[in-house]
Structure 1
Amino acid sequence: MGKNQHVVPHNGKWAVRGEGNERVTKITLTQKEAIEIAEEIARHQKSNTKIHGKDGKIRAGNCYSHTEPHKN
């Protein structure tokens, strides 16, 4: 499982940051764009997203760490 991806406010813009990383992965103009990027990374790494509001508090997120059960 990869690192959870956080969408955080960043100098008047929005950023995607891997959990525990000091540097951001990507800076975007909108939160929506940052969420799309974070979700793509999280799906690929089988991790989760944590969406922060302008106040920095987590307000939402998605889990991509579980796989679909096999159907017979």
Structure 2
Amino acid sequence: MTKPSIETYYENNQWKSRRQSSERAFSVGGTKAEQQATGRAAAQKDRVEHLIKKQDGTIGERNSYGNDPNPPRG
């Protein structure tokens, strides 16, 4: 079974991080940079993709820390 990606997003005037399979955030509050660091650490630990959304909800950045389906060519 594949582990869910980690998502850092803005909701109800707060930055949050959660696993995409969950409705509930595992970390809430602080600045966007603080939540990005929390989300990055969780994604690296789980070896999954980290999606960082902008305040408007669009994806601003994605980073893969596991099995990248499109690895860089050399």
Q: Which amino acid aligns with 1:51?
A: I
Query: Offset of 1:17 from its aligned partner?
Result: 1.1
What secondary structure is seen at the aligned counterpart in 1 of 2:55? coil
Rg bigger for which structure?
Answer: 1
**How many residue pairs get matched?**
67
Query: Offset of 1:64 from its aligned partner?
Result: 0.2
> In angstroms, what is the RMSD of aligned CA positions?
1.5
Q: Say whether residues 1:57 and 2:70 are aligned partners.
A: no
Aligned residue number for residue 19 of structure 1 = 20
Distance 1:11 1:44 in 2: 27
Report % sequence identity.
Answer: 21
Q: Which amino acid aligns with 2:28?
A: I
Query: Offset of 1:28 from its aligned partner?
Result: 1.9
Moved over 2 A (4+): none
**Once the two structures are superposed, what CA deviation does each residue of 1:12-70 show, in whole Å capped at 9, x if it has no partner?**
11000101211111102211001000110000100010000010011101100149xxx
Aligned residue number for residue 32 of structure 2 = 31
**Unaligned ranges ≥5, structure 2:** 69-74
